[in-house]
Structure 1
Amino acid sequence: MEQSSSCLIFLLIFCSSLSLVNSQEDSCENQISGLGFNFDTTSLKCFPVWDVQNFILRFTKASTDKWYFVLSYPYGINSWAAIGFSSDGKMVGSSALAVWVARPGVGGTQPYYLGGTSENEVDPNGSKLTFHNRSFKSIGTSRVYLSFVLETSAPEPYLLYAIGPKGSFPSQDNPTLSKHIDKVSTTMDYDKGTTSKSLTLKLKRSHGVLNIAGWSILMIIGAIIARHCKQWDPIWFYLHASIQTIGFVTGIVGILCGLALRKKISGSVTNHKNIGILIFVLGVLQVIALVLRPGKESKIRKYWNWYHRCLGCILIAFAVVNTLYGLHLGGEGSKWFAGYGTAVALLVIIAVILEIRKWMISKRSSPQHQVEHPIIPVPSHIPPLSSGSQSLVCPPWLKFLLAME
């Protein structure tokens, strides 16, 4: 009897533990009706909207002009989180609702109007939307649930999500919102109940990846081949020309994505765009230089080599700087900076190692470092060497001379 009771208690504890784990991790299979929200949550549609940060959105249409929303995110972000509604996918001009939990059960919510990209343009009193019955629930130190009622016939089709820097918590007395460190934009079809990443985000990522691969990575690899692989002539030239051509074409496609993206985003990117135009011009000049390359015996070949190398180095330098600046403007997280920085650093290390090797080979092959064998004069009284059955007698000094030969 006691053994059966022990097994029953263990089973109950085990089931409770599983339930607790599920509630901590959260998924669209979990029911949240027992968390005590201000409205009925049994009919909410559920969508994972930000996989990287594990954001889950639940919503339903309660009436012709009333919508229920519940946003769930990990407590461990240790900062504020926000959901915004935009008509065009842009952060500027949207209305958002932020929530923060400094410690379990202690936090707040605040609507904002995003009038610009700086902190003083984020107005805590200018939201164009009214978020009724807003509240938050924290499940220990695992999940935070933000609930609110939106009174509108049709919510905006673009939903924005963002998180702030670690340890950043607004307050009711000082609701200033620090600049986000990561964000994502999605589109929502409320009638069909489908969600997807917005075209703006796809264009932004395509613009960044193509330009990084074309103007930075491939151009650097092509330059390294031209500098250190000339012993494999003419393979090095065709490889160098092919890689640089692929990089040039990839970079142009990246620029076209950037021009399309410029029409869909707000904010000033003039400097980034101007540097991109300069990089494009330098790339065109390199292509023209390749077409007009003089022959090896030409007197101006030396000056052409100087021009081609210097222009290539300037192009790569501007490409690296503009890439870092573009990642900053795009608000990309540290993972993008770390990934790009690691790739460039690795290529630079390879280039430095090859440069040191080239210098050492050049130093060993220079005339002043070559060993000069002393010339030993042969005395005129060397006796002739006889042949036949008599063995040849070779003086020691002659053996040395023959060895030197």
Structure 2
Amino acid sequence: MAMVSRLLVLSLFIMLVSLERDGKLAQRKGIVMAIEEDGKALCSSVNLAEFLPPPYGGLENMVCQPVWNSFLLRYSQTKDNVVTIILSTVYTSGWVGMGFSRDGKMINSSCMVGWITPGGQGKIKQYYVEGLTPSKIKPEKGELPLTSIPPIVYLQGATIYVAFQLKYPNRLKNQPILLAFATKYPHHHHLTVHDDKTTKLFDFSSGSFIS
């Protein structure tokens, strides 16, 4: 009888955890559907300078492009090949990330990942993907040529902004980018399994996708 009771309690706990996760995903999907209807309008209606510090809040010649679901990619590229990137998407919990890959695959890619802790603190780190399991995604490692400008993450309403700056030896052109999110928070800076992901081939010289 005691064994049955323990199994019942365990089953209820698993069900509640599943419902909580599904609820967060449903909440996120509802917001995503609303934002997807007019993604381009958000590019012009949001004044980044009101809440993001320089250089992120005052990009010159900024390109803004809806890239996937509610993800918006804002960036500028100078003649000195400095690329300033601001990735935004709807946020309820967990983490969001953008990766750079040589061949479009996750393995051997370098990613910038941001999240807001339950206590309201922003966290952003570079990760290197050595394999497809969470233990193989290494924090504080990666090959992205970050500048001395600190990367930041900021939550404005229901939108999270992940911003960072890169310096390349040559102009950034055709680049496979990885986009992903999870509703579960990282555990001691180790990423949880993503809920969804995609890969896009993006031309940073023209601000468009490559079919």
**Cα pair distance change 1:29/1:104, threshold 3 Å:** farther
1:192 aligns with 2:206: yes
Aligned to 2:50: 34
Could you say if the C-alpha distance between residues 75 and 178 of structure 1 is closer, same or farther in structure 2, counting changes exceeding 3 Å? same
Residue correspondences, number: 166
Letter in 2 for 1:158: P
Higher helix content, 1 or 2: 1
- Give the match's secondary structure for 1:64: coil
Aligned counterpart, 2:145: 130
Give the root-mean-square deviation of aligned CA atoms: 2.2
What is the letter of the counterpart of residue 187 of structure 1? L
Aligned to 2:176: 158
1:87-110 Cα deviation digits (max 9, x unpaired): 111111110000001247412001
Map residues 1-400 of structure 1 onto 2, 5 A cutoff.
27-30=42-45, 31-39=47-55, 40-51=58-69, 54-76=70-92, 78-103=93-118, 105-132=120-147, 133-140=150-157, 142-152=158-168, 153-155=170-172, 157-164=175-182, 166-170=183-187, 174-196=188-210
User: 1:113-162 CA distances to partner (integer Å, 9 max, x unpaired)?
Assistant: 1111111211113301133420011113x111111101113446101000
| 8 Å CA contact retained: 1:111, 1:131 | no
Indicate the SS of the match to 2:202.
Answer: strand
Change (3 A) 1:44 1:105: farther
User: Residue 42 of structure 1: CA displacement?
Assistant: 4.2
Percent of pairs with identical residues:
25
**Structure with higher RCO (Cα < 8 A, 6+ apart):** 2
- Distance 1:32-1:104 versus aligned 2 partners, 3 A rule: farther
Larger Rg: 1
Relative to 1, partners in 2 of residues 1:104 and 1:37: Cα closer, same or farther, differing over 3 Å?
farther
Which structure shows the bigger proportion of residues in strand conformation?
A: 2
CA gap of 1:169–1:45, structure 2 versus 1, over 3 A, is same
Q: Give the structure-2-normalised TM-score.
A: 0.71
| Cα distance in structure 2, aligned partners of 1:169 and 1:116 | 17
Aligned partners of 1:101 and 1:169 also within 8 Å: no
TM-score by length of 1: 0.38
Distance 2:103 2:110 in 1: 12
Unaligned runs of 5+ in 1: 1-21, 198-405
Counterpart in 2 of 1:239?
none
